[in-house]
Structure formats: structure tokens, C-alpha cells
Amino acid sequence: MSAIRLLVLGAVRQHGRAHGYQVRNDLEFWGAHEWSHAKPGSIYHALKQMAKQGLMRAHDVAPSTAGGPPRTEYELTAAGEEEYLKLLRDALLRHDQKIDELTAGVGFIVDLPRAEAIALLKERVAALEEWRAEVTRNWSPPQDSPGEWGHIGEIMKFWVHSADSGAEWTRGLIERLEGGAYVMAGEGERPVDVLPDGAPNPYAQSPAPDDAGRGPGC
């Protein structure tokens, strides 16, 4: 899967309708440009590609007062909603995904019902435990000669450590969710972590572009 698809779909979904700079602003506000490939070019490309694929509906709004092209706002289609939830579930379930995919999934976990999120995370723990067992079955250096594997043994140690720490973190999140943390889907109103339109973003990578500085359809 692609973290940028999940991030862009989720950001648009939170607004209902959003233009490219709103999506970029939100993702920078969340720090996604630091831990993923959510850069301006990839964000605008993802919006246009997913519109072509029928996952989003594009709406041209009034042209800018500066004489630029109409600003395009996007909203998820039914297919886009289905794709978003599929990517979100996959991000939380898989034990072998990239860190940006897991991070994006955790960022939108509240969009799932509590019971479903917990069930997915429990499956993730089981997969991590199975993977750890597989690694250790194939890596059993003799007790009397622990250095026999040489520096390759460091790879095995890293894998085991990753499995253990990943499972520990996931169990902690499960415990917090089971204890009632966060407002999950279907549980009532919750704050939406987006910047109001026009609000300054302290984490922005560059000043907000004026209408003339935008690319077509952004």
C-alpha cells in the first residue's frame, strides 16, 4: 500500500471537501512531511490521480481574484470511502508494513469502530509473535559459541527486537482502547484535527501560496 494515498484520502475525508493546499497544510500540521513522502508534489499528484481513478470527485470553484485558474476542491466518492477504509485496516493489521504506513493508520484509527480496531490490532500482535517464532526457529546459535553467527547475528537480533517492541507497543494501544481511550467511530462527536481555513500553520514548510502561485487545479 501507499501511505500517501491513505494520508490524502483521510485528510480530504475529515474536511468533507478540501482543496490541495488544505490537504498539504493539514499533513504538515501533523508532521507527515517528516515521517512520510507527503511532499507538496506528491500530495497534488495523489489528488489528481485518485480523481482520475474515481476515488475522488473534483469540483472547480470560483476563479481567484488574482486571475489564476479555478481552485479545485475534492471529496471522496463511495469508491474512495471504500478504498480509504481498506487502506486503514491494512495499515493497522499488517506487521511488515513500512513505518509511515503504520503511522498513517494510527493517525486515523479513530475512524474505525472500537471493537474492529482492537480486533485488527490483536491480529497484528499474533502476526508479530508468529514472525518472531519463525526468526528464532531459523536462528539458534550454540550457547557455548554465541559468536558463531558473526555480524549476521546482529540482523537476527534486530528482527527479534523489532518484533518484541512492536508487539509491546501494540498491546499497549489495545489496552488503552479497551479502557475507553479516544472517541471512536459511532461513539459521538469528536474534535477534528485540521486547521481552520486561513489559520496560520506553525509547522508549514513554506508560506501559504497566493492564488497566482498555485499549480493548475490545486
Cβ-based burial of 66 (10 A; exposed 0-12, middle 13-18, buried ≥19): exposed
Lowest mean pLDDT segment, chosen from 8-17, 110-119, 143-152, 168-177: 143-152
> In this predicted model, which residue has the larger pLDDT, 50 or 203?
50
84-105 b/e (C-beta count within 10 Å ≥ 16 → b) = bbebbbebbbbbebeebbbbbb
Q: Which among 91, 84, 12 is positioned nearest to 48, based on CA atoms?
A: 12
Contacting residues for 17 by C-beta, under 8 A, at least 6 apart: 59, 73, 74, 75
The dihedral sign for the CA sequence 48, 1, 195, 177: positive
How confident is residue 216, by pLDDT bands cut at 50, 70 and 90? Answer: very low
What does the pLDDT look like over 115-140, one tens digit per residue? Answer: 999 999 999 999 999 999 988 887 76
For cell 486503514, what's the residue? 88
The dihedral sign for the CA sequence 106, 110, 111, 115: positive
